[in-house]
Amino acid sequence: MTLEEIRRAWTASGGVEIQRSIWDRAASEWAGRPLPDARDASLRLLLELSAPGDRCLDIGCGDGRYALALAKAGRACLGVDLSPEMISLAQRRALEDGGRNVTFQCGSWLETRLEPGGFDLVFARMTPAVAGYDAFRRMMDCSRRWCVLEKHTQRSDAVLDAVLSEAGIPPSRDRDREMEYARACLDALGCVPGVRIRPFQSRHRKSQADMTAWCLDRARLQGPLTGAQEQTIRRAVAARAENGIVEEVLTSQVMTLYWQVPASIQSTVGVI
């Protein structure tokens, strides 16, 4: 595919306000989670690709765990996220942990004002912020050295998928397509990324109310819901709750792309 073909095909699905609502609601679940350490594959790669004193940009930083961990290792980090609650949590964590050389900024990725080529390492992991051609190219625009993009692929959420299926809504495969488009874009630019894939599974518990809101929001990201679909989703979640709690099991293949941004690409990024 040519870059123009990719640009036309790889468009973000929108839903910014829904995404903001999802992550604002999730912030309380992330409070108190420990920072990643040397056992974390994502952090190890970020440390391999950077050095003390480097400037790092975390797109869709959430609670700021990775930016804070990199700052503790001597990097100067900026985290950006569209969720005010997540940014507030990240800022509190920075104060509590005595985080230095780390700042957080609330806003949509495409609307955040940043200096082109201002960072040695730009990364986006498990975030909907980089979900279209423009967002991907802007990611590259901000880096003078390395980029890392990491997402779940072949993802299955046992409860979510079953609930949406009952409402006649198929599971989204947007993340798989996003990584395919990212690799096609890099190929068109003559850039060969490193690729790492690892299996992933997690279990987490939500209240019936939170799981219902989660399922409704995920469904609305795919399009408007009818009244009948909304009622089906509410009943399906209730049927899976035990004492007001629903346990979700997420399984996936985590795919990580990492690449160096050549000077020849830097000079053209943002023009197309």
Residue 212 lies in a domain: no
pLDDT computed for residue 12 by the predictor: 78
Query: How far are the Cα atoms of 84, 103, 209 from residue 74, in angstroms, in the given order?
Result: 26, 14, 41
Q: Which pLDDT score is estimated for 264?
A: 67
User: What is the C-alpha separation between 60 and 126, in angstroms, rounded?
Assistant: 8
Q: In this structure, are residues 255 and 150 in contact, taking their beta carbons and an 8 Å threshold?
A: yes
Question: Is residue 191 a contact partner of residue 241, using CB atoms and an 8 Å limit?
Answer: no
Q: What is the arithmetic mean of pLDDT over 205-231?
A: 95
| Count of positions (residues) in the chain | 272
Q: Are 194 and 260 in contact (CB under 8 A)?
A: no
- Asked, for residue 216, whether it belongs to a domain, the answer is no
pLDDT computed for residue 271 by the predictor: 39
Residues in contact with 226: Cβ distance below 8 Å, sequence separation at least 6, in sequence order: none
pLDDT at residue 266, as a whole number:
58
Within a domain: 148: yes
pLDDT band with cut points at 50, 70 and 90 for residue 272? very low
**DSSP for residue 271:** T
Query: What is the pLDDT confidence band of residue 270, given thresholds at 50, 70 and 90?
Result: very low
The reply to whether 70 falls in a domain is yes
Tally of domains within the chain: 1
Helices (H), the chain: 3-9, 16-30, 41-48, 65-72, 84-96, 133-141, 158-166, 174-188, 208-220, 227-240, 263-266
3-state secondary structure of 150: strand
Query: For residue 243, is it within any domain?
Result: no
Query: Which residues on adjacent β-strands are paired with residue 102?
Result: 77
Per-residue pLDDT, 210 = 95
What is the C-alpha to C-alpha distance for residues 252 and 153, in angstroms, rounded to an integer?
A: 6
Q: What is the pTM of this model?
A: 0.93
Token readout for 135 is 């967002």
pLDDT, mean over the chain? 93
Dist CA 146 CA 188 (whole Å): 18
Can you give the C-alpha Rg of the chain in angstroms? 19
Q: Is the pLDDT of residue 15 over 90?
A: no
Look up the domain containing 142 and give its range: 3-154+172-199+253-266
Which of 154, 156, 158, 155 is closest to 237 using CA atoms?
Answer: 158
Q: With contact defined as beta carbons under 8 Å apart, do 241 and 109 qualify?
A: no
Residue 116 in any domain: the answer is yes
Please tell me whether residue 103 adopts helix, strand or coil conformation: strand
pLDDT higher than 80, residue 167: yes
CATH number at residue 79: 3.40.50.150
- Alpha carbon distance 9, 215 (integer Å): 27
Categorize the per-residue pLDDT at 96 as very low, low, confident or very high, splitting at 50, 70 and 90: confident
Interval 13-27 mean pLDDT = 88
Percent of the chain clearing pLDDT 70 (strictly above): 96
Does residue 241 fall inside a structural domain?
no
β-bridge mates for residue 260, sequence order: 146
Asked, for residue 189, whether it belongs to a domain, the answer is yes
